Amino acid sequence: MPRTFEELVAEGEAAPVAGWDFSWFEGRATEARPSWGYQRLMSERLGRATAALDVQTGGGEVLAGAAAFPPAMVATESWPPNVARATALLHPRGAVVVASPDEPPLPFGDAAFDLVTSRHPATVWWEEIARVLRPGGTYFAQHVGPASVFELVEFFLGPQPEEVRRRRHPEAEARDAEAAGLRITGLRSERLRMEFFDVGAVVHFLRKVIWIVPGFTVDAHRDRLRDLHERIVRDGPFVAHSARTLIEARKPA
């Protein structure tokens, strides 16, 4: 017997949101992955580094997938549950996890690292990245691109203005990086299909990825959630598209 709206919503509300493990969504939602394989490329660069920093590491799951760490490996994270999760995951491999707010300054000295990485940072402070990089050092990251998952955003919040849709555009990020003194050496972007098979998956996603619908709660959005549930039951999966940018920048020697 199909689960009811209330049952599905309760499941989405009860699911834990710490870390960046998305295995809970198996069978309930899908997202295509970028063709470039960020974790593999990151791992290759970490293997050549001597001192590296992973900014906004989340629960450390992506960084932990690297085959090898450089002699000095540091990660930052702001959310206390993720700090604890990343510490437990990364400390056994010799990496240090630093609790740090997602705002400047980074708690490190000038020219401390020859590699800075990040996967889906909520904020990017280019001047700070340039400051902590050694001359000749590299920033390598996968960013969330413009208008990511906006089908879902606009379902709950209504049409968004063009300036909001263009935030985090790859070309704008490249200009900001260059203004901070970095030189762009690689820039790629892709839009990728997502499918949500039930409203519980949407609830969990919006609780976990909190910047999609800021301030999301089930109580505040129950009517739209019910509309979404009825739409999925009637028409099939809710389809959205994520935006991803692969960016590499070098600090001149």
In 3D space, the residue among 144, 80, 151, 153 whose CA is nearest the CA of residue 118 turns out to be 144
Please tell me the predicted confidence (pLDDT) of residue 251. 98
Please tell me the predicted confidence (pLDDT) of residue 1. 77
> Which residue pairs from 1-7 have beta carbons closer than 8 angstroms and sit at least 24 positions apart in sequence?
2/233, 3/198, 3/200, 5/199, 5/225, 5/226, 5/229, 7/200
- Contact by Cβ (8 Å): 125, 103: yes
- Contact by Cβ (8 Å): 93, 117: no
Instruction: Write down the domain spans for the chain.
Output: 5-250
Please tell me the predicted confidence (pLDDT) of residue 20. 74
Q: Which CATH number fits domain 5-250: 3.30.70.3270, 3.40.50.150, 3.40.390.10, 2.60.40.420?
A: 3.40.50.150
Please tell me the predicted confidence (pLDDT) of residue 146. 97
pLDDT by 10s per residue, the chain, length 253: 789 999 999 999 999 988 777 889 999 999 999 999 999 999 999 999 999 999 999 999 999 999 999 999 999 999 999 999 999 999 999 999 999 999 999 999 999 999 999 999 999 999 999 999 999 999 999 999 999 999 999 999 999 999 999 999 999 999 999 999 999 999 999 999 999 999 999 999 999 999 999 999 999 999 999 999 999 999 999 999 999 999 999 999 9
